[in-house]
Structure 1
Amino acid sequence: MTGNLAHLTLAFGLLGNVVSFMVFLAPIPTFYKVYKKGSTEGFQSAPYVVGLFSAMLWIYYALLKSNVMLLITINSVGCIIETLYICFFLFYAPKKARMESLKLIVLLIVVGFGLIVVLTQFFAHGVNRGVIVGWICLVFSLCVFVAPLGVLRQVIKTKSVEYMPILLSVALTLSAVMWFFYGLLLGDFNIAIPNVLGFTFGILQMILYFVYKNKKPVTDEKISNFEAKISEMEEQKLPEYKNQKITDVVKLETLIHSDILPVAAKLNKNGCDQAGHVAVEPKAASYVPNHTIEVAA
């Protein structure tokens, strides 16, 4: 029975390593866009700095334990990948974004992680050291898993799943399931408890994705309604414009006839007036009235 439990624990740990490795590779398309664009404008370094801090924290916790080697393997790989992401980001980032990223790195990695290591090494002893670091990992992981609440709120508000990739949500959910059972079988609730929250939020993300994936975004609906109102207003004005145009044409024809008919009435069959003068129509613009021109005999 104990052997079967150990094999099951190993299986979940290995599966957790594989799925977590896929999650670590998920930002590669983002950095390809950065490379093609030549700038990190519109992107932030915070997720990668937080990911590096989390990986370092779990490695430190695993080093204080005796039976969680699989935590060390995946988080060591995570440290390397996140460091490469951060270096890539700093290379392409504008000066302002680069300075903000460096401040976050110093604050979280150097100061934050450094204080945790120093304080637990000097002020905690034996088993208590692992318990304290375990609680820190637990609280930090809960904060990380709560972060998707902002994404869920945005999806519900906009009715759009544009910024919630389904493959990443599935991978995070599977990762949470694997690490939950790994922690449960080891009897390590610092590993198991945060992943309950991760699994719950992962399921919520997938449900929202299938609810809103075929729905029209709110912004598109507003634009469509606005365009429909404009079209309706133009259609209402069009008959008035047509009527006005017809009225103007009638007035113009009336004006032309009023100028031509009196002159035409005075002409005889040969095109001459009573005085024997020939009426000649000059080539002029349509709005210029006709004139009678005398021609010497």
Structure 2
Amino acid sequence: MTGNLAHLTLAFGLLGNVVSFMVFLAPIPTFYKVYKSKSTQGFQSAPYVVGLFSAMLWIYYALLKTNVLLLITINSVGCFIETFYICFFLFYAPKKARMESLKLIVLLVVVGFGLIVVLTQFFASGAARGVIVGWICLVFSLCVFVAPLGVLRQVIKTKSVEYMPILLSVALTLSAVMWFFYGLLLGDFNIAVPNVLGFTFGIIQIILYFVYKKKKPVLVSTFDGKICEMEEQRFPEINDHKSIDVEKLNKSKDVSHCMAAKPQMIPNCTIEVSS
């Protein structure tokens, strides 16, 4: 029976490694968009910084334990991939986003992780050190699952899932299932507990994705290179050769600074500029 349990634990651990590797690769389409546009657009670096910090913590935790080698393998790979993502983001990010990302990196990766290692090494010993680090890992694992939820507000506001990493959400959900059973079979609740919420958060993101999947905003180009997002239903039907008072349009917050629209949205329109 013990042998069967060990094999089952190993199986879930290996599956957890495979699915977690998929999690780390899930943002590739996002970074391909960044590469093509040469801009980070509305994407954020927080999920990748938190992911790097969490991977470092789990490696530290695994080094303090004796039976979680599979945590070391996957999180070592995770550290490398997350570092690549962050460097890629910093290269294409505008100055403000770059500075915010660097502050977060210093706060979590340098100061946060450094303090955890120093304090646990000097003020804790033996099993107590592993318990403390385990609780810290539990808390920040929740942060990894919660971090992608930051885009939910943007999805609801714009009614667009363009910036919602759905592949990451699906992969995180599957990963949560595998690591939950791995931790449960090991009797390590620091591994099992956060994955319960991880599964819950993943399901919420997937549901929200399908709710707003077909609700795309209308993009309107402007003369100064800006993009204004407007929903099609905000434009009443306009007959041919009807004119639009630009000053009236400018009173609307959503269409401020917009001086042109796509032909299919306002057909055969002339624009009268009031002096």
TM-score interval, normalised by the smaller of the two chains: 0.7 to 0.9
Structure 2 CA distance, aligned partners of 1:5 and 1:100?
46
- Kindly tell me: are residues 36 and 79 of structure 1, through their superposed partners in 2, closer, same or farther at Cα, counting changes over 3 Å? same
**AA partner of residue 233 (structure 2):** N
Structure 2 CA distance, aligned partners of 1:94 and 1:148?
21
Structure 2 CA distance, aligned partners of 1:230 and 1:146?
44
Is the CA contact 2:49–2:105 (under 8 Å) kept in the aligned structure 1?
yes
Computed over aligned residues only, the root mean square deviation of the Cα atoms, in angstroms, reads 2.8
Between stretches 133-142 and 188-197, larger displacement belongs to 133-142
Question: Who is 1:227 aligned against?
Answer: 235
Aligned residue pairs total 234
Question: Who is 2:161 aligned against?
Answer: 161
Structure 2 CA distance, aligned partners of 1:77 and 1:218?
37
Q: Which has the larger radius of gyration?
A: 1
Structure 2 CA distance, aligned partners of 1:162 and 1:64?
41
State the secondary structure of the residue aligned to 1:61. helix
**Shift in Å, 1:48:** 1.9
* Ranges in structure 1 where 5+ consecutive residues have no aligned partner: 236-297
**Shift in Å, 1:165:** 4.1
Structure 2 CA distance, aligned partners of 1:99 and 1:209?
30
Question: Who is 1:203 aligned against?
Answer: 203
Structure 2 CA distance, aligned partners of 1:34 and 1:162?
13
1:138 aligns with 2:138: yes
Deviations 1:246-268 (A, max 9, x none): xxxxxxxxxxxxxxxxxxxxxxx
Q: How does 1:47-66 map to 2 (within 5 A)?
A: 47-66=47-66
State the secondary structure of the residue aligned to 1:147. helix
1:193 aligns with 2:201: no
Question: Who is 2:267 aligned against?
Answer: none
Q: How does 1:1-297 map to 2 (within 5 A)?
A: 1-40=1-40, 42-156=42-156, 158-214=158-214, 216=215, 223-228=231-236, 230-231=238-239
Deviations 1:94-142 (A, max 9, x none): 4444443333222211111000000000001110000000111111122
- Kindly tell me: are residues 100 and 123 of structure 1, through their superposed partners in 2, closer, same or farther at Cα, counting changes over 3 Å? same
Structure 1 CA distance, aligned partners of 2:185 and 2:115?
31
Q: Which has a greater percent of helix?
A: 1
Structure 2 CA distance, aligned partners of 1:111 and 1:187?
31
* Ranges in structure 2 where 5+ consecutive residues have no aligned partner: 220-229, 244-275
For normalisation by structure 1, the TM-score amounts to: 0.70
State the secondary structure of the residue aligned to 2:161. coil
Q: Which has a greater percent of strand?
A: 2
For normalisation by structure 2, the TM-score amounts to: 0.75
